[in-house]
């Protein structure tokens, strides 16, 4: 959307849901604008509930601030600075002109997209976050915090999956250190992040998230907390462990997950065949009874499969035809 100047003529200082739906959507599209928090009171309560240590020493990097309720809450609990990345033109103009303004010292809003890999390269420049690199993973990064409200749909799912994988690989934001995170996660995406072994939604994302950090649910939105009214979000905290629970080579572990979870309701004794011709030989090399359903496998059990697979001389030579463009750069 390209507009040189917008007039936000709302009955009150903050738009109603109907006013929001009309003013912030792309005029060429019939879909609603990207979901956003709409309750400043809820935002502030949830920011406090995170119990962030020494916020006055921290910079918060926020993705997709929307109407800015979460941004203001982060500022109000005492963050040293909040850097907000808002790619949508109308939201960006709203934040710049109506919420914070040119005299605001603690909040900086940039028209950038956290979905783009190049964004993190820009953020690592010295005038943003580049001087805050802390490679000591024995402690949680004392000066940074990563947060935001993830878009619904495929885009939000890809982002969250990449973020948890980047903790293990120490890439993107986590090339700067062991950074605590808290994201507002859409309802449909939430079980893919939080499911444990044995649950129906168990998948690569929940396995990797459990392996790389402590995952806690802080809050589930209620009617009036977000626009649109039908939107349900969960605030989830992810604090990286000092060391990932995945010991196998990352590419091998990823290959094993990708193939086994094509058939999550199948016994491992059958699903192991998806790893390659003759892979059944690996069953006898595992330090546990392989008569278990794929979605019941623990992180340690999956890790053992990947380690034994990597040691197998007859494993496929090429594990991935196309590497993940986000993680390969």
Q: 178-191: b or e for each residue (b if 16 or more CB lie within 10 Å)?
A: bbbbbbbbbeebbb
pLDDT > 50? residue 328: no
Task: Kindly state the average pLDDT of the residues 74-81.
Answer: 98
Q: Which residues pair with 80 in a beta bridge?
A: none
Task: Specify the pTM.
Answer: 0.92
Task: Kindly state the average pLDDT of the residues 58-79.
Answer: 98
DSSP track, 164-219: HHHHHHT-GGGGS----EEEEEETTTHHHHH--TTSTT--HHHHHHHHHEEEEEEE
Higher pLDDT, 321 or 26: 26
pLDDT > 90? residue 14: yes
Task: Kindly state the average pLDDT of the residues 312-323.
Answer: 77
pLDDT > 50? residue 15: yes
Look at residue 28 in the predicted model and tell me its pLDDT. 61
Collapsed DSSP state (helix, strand, coil) of residue 247 = coil
Residue 82: C-alpha distances to residues 71, 100, 158, 174, 265 (Å): 7, 11, 24, 18, 44
**pLDDT band for position 4 (cuts 50, 70, 90):** very low
Alpha carbons 123 and 83: distance in angstroms, whole number: 10
Establish whether 297 is an annotated binding residue: no
What percent of the chain shows pLDDT beyond 90? Answer: 84
Indicate the DSSP class of residue 297.
Answer: -
Q: Which residues pair with 149 in a beta bridge?
A: 184
The CB-side HSE value for 251 (13 A sphere, CA atoms) comes to: 12
Alpha carbons 67 and 12: distance in angstroms, whole number: 14
Token digits for 133? Answer: 């690199």
Domains, in order of start, for the chain: 17-240 (3.40.50.150), 250-311 (1.10.8.100)
Establish whether 113 is an annotated binding residue: yes
Write the pLDDT tens digit of every residue in 103-144: 789 999 999 999 999 999 999 999 899 899 999 999 999 999
Look at residue 175 in the predicted model and tell me its pLDDT. 95
Token digits for 72? Answer: 């203001």
Write the pLDDT tens digit of every residue in 154-213: 999 999 999 999 999 999 999 999 999 999 999 999 999 999 999 999 999 999 999 999
Task: Kindly state the average pLDDT of the residues 265-270.
Answer: 97
**Beta-sheet pairing, 226-227 with 81-85:** unpaired
Token digits for 231? Answer: 């939107």
**pLDDT band for position 101 (cuts 50, 70, 90):** confident
Strand ranges (E), the chain: 36-37, 59-63, 81-85, 107-110, 144-149, 181-186, 213-220, 226-227, 233-240
Establish whether 157 is an annotated binding residue: no
């Amino acid at each position: 959307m390209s507009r040189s100047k917008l007039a936000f003529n709302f009955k009150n200082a903050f738009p109603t849901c109907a006013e929001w739906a009309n003013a912030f959507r792309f005029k060429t599209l019939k879909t609603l604008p990207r979901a956003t928090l709409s309750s400043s009171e809820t935002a502030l309560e949830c920011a406090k509930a995170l119990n962030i240590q020494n916020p006055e020493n921290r910079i918060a990097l926020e993705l997709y601030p929307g109407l800015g309720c979460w941004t203001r809450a982060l500022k109000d609990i005492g963050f040293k600075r909040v850097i907000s990345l808002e790619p949508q033109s109308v939201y960006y103009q709203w934040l710049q002109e109506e919420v914070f303004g040119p005299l605001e010292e603690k909040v900086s809003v940039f028209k950038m997209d956290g979905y783009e890999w190049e964004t993190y390269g820009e953020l690592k420049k010295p005038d943003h976050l580049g001087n805050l690199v802390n490679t000591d993973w024995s402690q949680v990064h004392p000066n940074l915090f990563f947060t935001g409200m993830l878009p619904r749909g495929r885009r939000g799912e890809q982002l969250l999956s990449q973020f948890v994988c980047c903790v293990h690989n120490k890439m993107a934001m986590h090339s700067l250190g062991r950074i605590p995170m808290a994201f507002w996660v859409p309802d449909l995406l939430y079980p893919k992040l939080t499911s444990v072994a044995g649950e129906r939604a168990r998948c690569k994302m929940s396995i990797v998230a459990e392996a790389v950090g402590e995952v806690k649910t802080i809050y589930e939105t209620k009617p009036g907390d977000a626009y649109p009214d039908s939107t349900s979000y969960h605030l989830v905290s992810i604090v990286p462990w000092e060391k990932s629970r995945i010991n196998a080579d990352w590419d091998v572990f990823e290959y094993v997950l990708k193939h086994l979870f094509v058939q999550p309701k199948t016994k491992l004794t059958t699903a192991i065949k998806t790893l390659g011709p003759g892979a059944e030989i690996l069953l006898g090399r595992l330090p546990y009874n392989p008569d278990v359903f794929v979605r019941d496998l623990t992180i340690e059990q999956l890790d053992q499969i990947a380690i034994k697979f990597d040691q197998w001389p007859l494993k496929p030579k090429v594990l991935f035809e196309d590497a993940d463009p986000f993680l390969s750069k």
